[in-house]
Amino acid sequence: TINENEESESDEQDEAGDIIVLEPSPCHDEVVESEDVYVPAMRKLATCNLTGHGVPHNNSAGLKWLETAYKIGNDVDAAHELALIYEYAQHGVEIDVVVAAQWFKQAAESGHVEAMAEYAMCCELGCGREQ
């Protein structure tokens, strides 16, 4: 679960000096079926949002960009990164071994070698799944 107070907004001024509140783009919530999808950009947006580098710090948007990179761009590294975030409670997310195991499984089934080892450990120890 993401702490709601972790999301932030940034204020900018337009040419007239009025303050404009910038919010994360909703584009990662839309289904995209295009050959023009550039997965490295999705991963970079995730990193920027999660760290606040170049954009307002926004954990929720960062996690959504990682999910989008996996679901739309088939980026298995993004699935593995999500698993690690949930396993180690990073970026304002509480530890959730069930969600972590699900992401490890998805990454493992897509060929991510480290995720295979992590998911095997989940199976052996019963973390996040039935033994």
CB-CB contact of 86 with 115 (8 Å): no
Global pTM value: 0.72
Tens digit of each residue's pLDDT, the chain (131 residues): 444 444 444 444 456 555 443 344 545 445 455 567 889 999 999 999 999 999 999 999 999 999 999 999 999 999 999 999 999 999 999 999 999 999 999 999 999 999 999 999 999 888 876 55
pLDDT of residue 131: 52
CB-CB contact of 125 with 118 (8 Å): no
Query: Distance between CA atoms of 84 and 99, rounded to whole angstroms?
Result: 10
Encoding tokens for residue 128?
Answer: 């996040």
